[in-house]
Every structure is written in structure tokens, then in C-alpha cells.
Amino acid sequence: MIFNEALYKKDNEDNGVLLTPQQIKEHPDFISIRELLYCPEIGCSARLIYTNRMPKGFLKAISIQDHSAECWHHTDQEKERQAKKRILANGPLTDEGIKTKKKGLEKFLLGHLSPSNTTDTKPNNGSDKTKTPPRTINSDNPSETIVVVDPGNSSGVSENELDPGFKRKEPPYYSYAINELSSKHSNKNIKTFAEIKDIMVNDYSVYLTASYNDTAVTFILTEDFFSGINRDQTITFLKDIVTFSKQQTVYLAVLCQSNVIKPSAIKLYVHDIRNLSFYIEKRFFHSITDATAYINHSHGQ
């Protein structure tokens, strides 16, 4: 819900002043007044938030803030809530979602390996998500079902149970170099890379050890990773890649999840075989089979 103006009122004041987004942006006390913006309707104390994502900025309601029953925005708020039906879905990312995230990861990897070739000098906040302008919901539209995908969640709704026309919202993955990870990055979806060092196999999982900038990491390929594929053949291919990495640098580019991160022993979890890419001799390979085929063809392994 977007607003054209907000009531700026200090806590100890009975009256306030109405401000447009442009006036808020240009206000000399911009930092402090952002915390004191309210719905402009008389008697309504719902907080508003100013967002500077467009040239002039805009004002929107905070979803957890209820407008008073007498406020005409209260009806719009209820319609908006009813129009969005969010369902937590199990299952992996779509192929298109993985492709998009891998493109961002490739750029991130190359930026670290060849910093002189990138013009991006912004500090890394982890996300390379493209910002989109706000949208308003037409209350006359039928309800909108948004499937919120959680790749680490084993339970949820099957998309086959949903009505046609639902929208799929895939989670963001945040780009960090291994040496940037700390405990604050626990329980996150992460895009990262590292130089492959070795492989270890047990009855349930496969462990790929790697490092970057003197920081070690273990990528754990879980049981889910091998679901529906030939496990033994996949492990053989991975061993071929690791053997080749003893002669030539191989970078592993990964979409993964973290649990509790301990900087002294970083472990990241990979649940889907599609989430791996390899950077070999200045070329990206987006699957284990493609990387193995290149190694065998070019180097006769």
C-alpha cells in the first residue's frame, strides 16, 4: 500500500505536519524523521516507512502495523492481505532460478579472481538482487497465491495441489567469499566459490574440501544431492575432477546453505546436483558431467 504523504509527529507532540516523499528526502533531519512517520488519516497511528528506491522515494505501510478501524486505509489493508496468499513450498529451485543465480555467482567469482576486470566498487552486502519498483495490488483481482520456495525445507505443499496461475517466489542467495563468512552468516542461502583440494566419501554424504585466501571450507553433498541420480558414477566423476585439480587449479562455484558457521571449521551444505559449477582454465562448466568430459577430452584422463 503506497502513500502520497505521511504525518511527521514527535512522540510528545499532539499535532504534526504532513510531508511528501520529496520533502522527507530533502529534510535536514532526514535520519531522525524516518522513525516518526505515520498514516496521514486523523486518529490513525499506523507507522509508515520511507523507502529511497525510486528517484523521489515513496511511502508505504508496514505490514505488521494495523490501521485503525475508522481509517479508510484499513479496508485496503485487509484487501491486500487477502489478495496475497503465501504458501511455504518444499522442493528445489527451478532451472531458470538456478541459471540466474549462477550468472551472478560467475560475475562474483571473476570479480575476485580478476578484480581489475570489474568496475564494481560497491561494498559487498551479500545480495546481488536487482531492485524492482513497488507495486500496488488491485483489490478487484482474484487472490494471488505466492509459493515461497524453501530449498532446505523437506515439507510443504506440492505445486500440483495449487490452482493454475500461482506465482513462485524463490529465495535470494547471498554472495560471499569463503574468507568473509562468520557466525552471522549462519542459516543462510549462500553463493560462494573455492579452490578444490580433496574429496572424502562415506555411506551417506560426500565431502569436498576446498579453500580460498587461506580459509578452508568443507562442502557437504547431502543424501538429497544424490536423489534420482547414479551415486557411484557421480562420485567417480567428482574424484576425476579432484585428481585433475592436483595438476591444474579448479574452482568450485556453489549454491549452498549454511547451518551454524564456525570460522575455524566452515561447513556448507549442497542439496541439489544442479547447484554445482566448475571454473577450469578460464571456462565455466555448469555440471559435473560437462566438467569431467572437458577434462577427459582435453587432458586425456
Q: How does pLDDT run across 74-122, given as a tens digit for each residue?
A: 555 555 544 455 555 555 678 888 999 999 999 999 999 886 654 443 4
Number of domains present in the structure of the chain: 2
Is 288 part of a structural domain of the chain?
yes
Domain ends where: 11, 31, 61?
Answer: 61
Q: In angstroms, rounded to a whole number, what is the distance separating the alpha carbons of residues 236 and 229?
A: 13
Domain ends where: 43, 61, 79?
Answer: 61
| Amino acid 27: pLDDT | 84
191: CATH: 2.40.50.140
Return the minimum-mean-pLDDT range out of 46-50, 282-286, 287-291. 46-50
Of residues 134 and 146, more confidence is placed in 146
Work out the pLDDT band at 44, boundaries 50, 70, 90. Answer: confident
**What are the helix (H) ranges across the chain?**
21-26, 30-33, 72-83, 95-113, 231-245, 288-299
Is 79 part of a structural domain of the chain?
no
Angle between helix axes 288-299 and 231-245 (nearest 10 degrees) is: 50
- Range of 265's domain? 174-299
Is 217 part of a structural domain of the chain?
yes
Q: What angle do CA 235, 237, 242 make, to 5 degrees?
A: 90
Q: Closest Cα to residue 125, out of 176, 171, 173?
A: 176
Residue 13 scores a pLDDT above 80: no
- The per-residue pLDDT for range 242-276, each reduced to its tens digit, is 999 999 999 999 999 998 899 899 999 999 999 99
Is 126 part of a structural domain of the chain?
no
Is 150 part of a structural domain of the chain?
no
22-38: b (≥16 Cβ within 10 Å) or e: eebeeeeeeeebbebbb
- Please give the DSSP secondary-structure letter assigned to residue 127: B
Yes or no: say if 208 and 256 are a contact pair by the CB < 8 Å rule.
no
